[in-house]
Structure 1
């Protein structure tokens, strides 16, 4: 028997009776999944209110058969743990949305001619940097928060968070990590001085139009140049965050050791978030596929140490993880692959076939759902 249940009434062990979508091409959780707390957290994150479940429950907790009060205590503990996790995720998402809205307000003021107030930007981003670095699992799905219409504001906040997380993975001192997060948030503030019709254009930019957009690192640097609230090396990192080690970047075509490592940290965070998001002129890519592209296809453009930090931040799927693939299939990881961390062997749910993703390069992991 199947029935619809409100998310707040669900408990670990419930079995989904239908795929769950959230304005996505593929389900965020597949039919037949036995829900655990990570799944419930994901459903809450995507604001899913009700789902269809089977009446039977898989008991994931196997208490000893003692007094009846023991089972009641375990159920109470599960309820409390779930309540705490859902509450935490809701608080984090609320904090993130508040920061995006506040950044949008600041960006609009810069566009109208107001001076950049770094103190205000620091105030809106610092709580996120401190909090999300403790919950890095959520960083890999920041692209799910974004939308085409308000991409620029989501991008600024997300790049700040990703930059700080990468800096932490690289074991930078906390002061440097927080300064880098602030610099990452401000890296594209100069976009406020670029003609709005270019930023909103749905088609590819012409060569001359792109030349205008490529001025934004210089404009960002100029906007923050006189502020004592950002270290000079961070301002240089903002100026250089579109430079590439092979000299193919902009605005100056710097290469090699002329590019600071701080700029390289922002660069990886910037490209990773941009490529995983849907934008007015392109569809989004899987975060796992983008990380691979930065290491393999764009080899020589980015600092390998920073790309390795991105891999560590994302984390390698391990045996037992439930995954959704870019071709729409879902399954479970059978065995990981340390040589190619995002290309494990996956047992496809519908067919039972074991697919080695190293031999099927056209297919990647779309999402790890627990």
Structure 2
């Protein structure tokens, strides 16, 4: 079929772009062989593009009929299972998990060892739900409560650890195990003096040294369970180690730190940095990924960071965002090599390219939940 230059006003979704489309940008705003969507057409209009080269693809589908007799064989539960979980269902599931974890933590403070089977029961539905609805990973910091941060943090680290593992194509069994390890990584905080845990001000050097012992306590509390693989127990012990040797408890370096520990470490740091704390406001997930890449360079495995970025930094066209300068708008184009710095159509109609305006970044996604 021949290529045609078509007026943007005559375009319709389903056509295929047959050459890269530029608009005074170093990267094309729409790439060759892209199938046009309504969002693409909006982008072309925003950039005042008059014509584009397209190849029309006509797809003729044969109508499929359904025999009424077949309806009797359809299982209603099977149909219901395919209906995606909505936002509030997911939030409710998350909040219930936090309260269940809080109850378990209280038992650990009284000297009872973690019931890994219970933690598994709490985490599996959450992991399945969030991996199935990955866009909600960006609101984990929105769900956190400053007064019950520790419980939120453990649940969120478990979810993120599983999601990162899944993104890295680890087997499903390992994905679940890493998630449980992430949720249990801070169980040793139950052995730290409660006055330190509840302290609203910055910790003294001695208090911080006591907190750093939680990785040892965590390992001691789960070392005898047969429900966690040995490499996952090691991940719990090592989740504060850093590739450059700056971590604790042993100051391990590179090959001495397991990949599972690195996954939990990235999940731990990411959620901590994005969440509101007594001494710090919450920070955008997109900004935090940049900070981890740049300010914490050399401390974390780049493959793990990239997996996290692909999960929560994959801004889609149409996403409403607030920028660090206070402006709000919609993402209208995402650069292939700079996913965290999209082009944003501001409320006043102007377009800001964050790859050019480096001093400005996406501050946060404007969620419909809140």
TM-score interval, smaller chain: 0.7 to 0.9
Q: Distance in 2 between matches of 1:349 and 1:238?
A: 46
Offset of residue 274 of structure 1:
0.5
Determine if the alignment matches structure 1 residue 358 to structure 2 residue 348: no
Determine if the alignment matches structure 1 residue 111 to structure 2 residue 109: yes
In structure 2, stretches of 5+ residues that fail to align are: 1-81
Offset of residue 185 of structure 1:
0.4
Query: Which residue of the partner structure matches residue 222 of structure 2?
Result: 224
Match of 1:200 among 190, 195, 198: 198
Match of 1:157 among 155, 158, 175: 155
**TM-score (ref. length: structure 1):** 0.74
Aligned counterparts, 1:339-358, within 5 A: 339-350=337-348, 352-358=349-355
CA displacement, residues 206-236 of structure 1 (integer Å, 9 cap, x when unaligned): 1111100001111000000110010000000
Q: Distance in 1 between matches of 2:252 and 2:288?
A: 24
Q: Distance in 1 between matches of 2:332 and 2:93?
A: 36
CA displacement, residues 305-348 of structure 1 (integer Å, 9 cap, x when unaligned): 00000111114324443322233211123432222211122232
Query: Which residue of the partner structure matches residue 188 of structure 1?
Result: 186
**Does the aligned pair in 2 maintain the 1:187–1:220 contact within 8 Å?**
yes
Q: Distance in 1 between matches of 2:201 and 2:352?
A: 37
**Does the aligned pair in 2 maintain the 1:343–1:358 contact within 8 Å?**
yes
Query: Which residue of the partner structure matches residue 14 of structure 1?
Result: none
Aligned in 2, Cα 1:233/1:323: closer, same or farther, shift over 3 Å? Answer: same
**Does the aligned pair in 2 maintain the 1:357–1:363 contact within 8 Å?**
yes
Aligned pair count reads 286
**Does the aligned pair in 2 maintain the 1:286–1:326 contact within 8 Å?**
no
Query: Which residue of the partner structure matches residue 171 of structure 2?
Result: 173
Q: Distance in 2 between matches of 1:184 and 1:321?
A: 29
Determine if the alignment matches structure 1 residue 147 to structure 2 residue 145: yes
Instruction: Please report the RMSD computed on the Cα atoms of aligned residues, expressed in angstroms.
Output: 1.8
Q: Distance in 2 between matches of 1:326 and 1:234?
A: 38
Aligned counterparts, 1:151-300, within 5 A: 151-300=149-298
Offset of residue 290 of structure 1:
0.5
The structure with more radius of gyration: 2
**Does the aligned pair in 2 maintain the 1:201–1:280 contact within 8 Å?**
no
Match of 2:97 among 96, 99, 111: 99
Offset of residue 194 of structure 1:
0.6
Q: Distance in 2 between matches of 1:128 and 1:217?
A: 24
